[in-house]
Structure 1
Amino acid sequence: MKPTSRPIGYWLRHLHNLIEARFEAALAEDRLGRRHWQTLTLLHEEPRTDAQVREALLPFGADQGATLDDLTGRGWVARDADGRLALTGAGRDAYPRVAARVQAARDLLMTGLTTEQYVSTVEVLATMAGNLEARPPNE
């Protein structure tokens, strides 16, 4: 069966499910989910306010409260002197270990693709989304 014999919606959903499963497996060793990873990455970049974390994760439907509670309970996240959320020493130690497994999953996803092909694919998908966002569904 040729890949083009199935519609784009099939491939988008199928790929989404495969990515979710692969990342779940990569994060399972530390009993983390993708929202944990996204939160750790945000805080690895720099400390953030609660509002900044919520805004950054909003598109993913993340339950920041439960995720932050879990990361705090692990001792990986705490509030800094300014009241912002930040990685603790334990969180900074855990980050590279988790990041290596996430990178391995990303490398597998990109096998056989160039960076240009990836960028082109993302641009095409963003254009398609923009086309549909520009018109209400009832038009």
Structure 2
Amino acid sequence: MDATKPIGYWLKHLDNLLERQFDATLADLDIGRRHWQLLNTLSRGPASREELTRALAPFWQAGATEPAEVLDGPGNSLAARGWTATGGQRIHLTAEGRAAHARIADRIAHSRRTVLGQLTPEQYTATVRTLSVMAANVEADLASGVRPA
């Protein structure tokens, strides 16, 4: 490991590696990380499009596939696979969707164990806490509007 690189490098590098790992883990299913994120969010209960968009906004970067396309677009969308259905304004998992979520969750759990490797639960918790504090610091600074002269 090259500890001389700044945290921004490691955050971007890890995020890129996680994207690649998701792609490799899910490639044979012809789905990606965004499919999983929507499927996993819906596994907690029905949600409106707006709720899903809000919940997953940090993961949908400019130029990425739109949530609507992953939800119910042509091709490999969740709806096209029969994994979701809409009742009123709420989207929910079908029985097939719940079964798919369970199968895919096992793969994701394996990937997460790989990412964590030899880290202890305490080290993971401390890392997440540290990143959370750093994010809050930057959010507060941006909200203050004060800039160095």
Fold shared by both chains (TM-score > 0.5): yes
Counterpart position of 1:104: 110
* Distance verdict in 2 for CA 1:25–1:138, change over 3 Å: farther
How many Å apart are 1:8 and its aligned residue?
1.3
Structure with greater proportional helix content: 1
2:84 equivalent to 1:77: yes
How many Å apart are 1:53 and its aligned residue?
1.2
2:132 equivalent to 1:133: no
How many Å apart are 1:102 and its aligned residue?
0.7
More displaced stretch, 112-121 vs 50-59: 50-59
In the TM superposition, structure 1's runs of 4+ consecutive aligned residues that sit over 3 Å from their partners are none
**1:95, 1:132 → 2: CA distance?**
35
Identity of aligned residues (%): 42
**2:22, 2:134 → 1: CA distance?**
25
How many Å apart are 1:83 and its aligned residue?
4.0
Q: Please give the root-mean-square deviation of Cα atoms over the aligned residues, in Å.
A: 1.7
How many Å apart are 1:138 and its aligned residue?
6.6
**1:7, 1:57 → 2: CA distance?**
27
Q: How does 1:1-139 map to 2 (within 5 A)?
A: 3-61=2-60, 63-69=66-72, 70-80=77-87, 82-136=88-142, 139=147
How many Å apart are 1:4 and its aligned residue?
1.9
More displaced stretch, 6-15 vs 96-105: 6-15
**2:135, 2:52 → 1: CA distance?**
24
| One-letter amino acid matched to 1:101 | R
| One-letter amino acid matched to 2:39 | L
Task: Describe the SS at the equivalent of 2:23.
Answer: helix
**2:123, 2:34 → 1: CA distance?**
27
**1:129, 1:84 → 2: CA distance?**
32
**2:12, 2:54 → 1: CA distance?**
25
Task: Describe the SS at the equivalent of 2:108.
Answer: helix
| One-letter amino acid matched to 1:90 | E
Give the structure-2-normalised TM-score. 0.84
Give deviations 1:18-76, integer Å, cap 9, x for gaps. Answer: 11111111111211111110110111111112221121111212621001011111111
**2:58, 2:42 → 1: CA distance?**
17
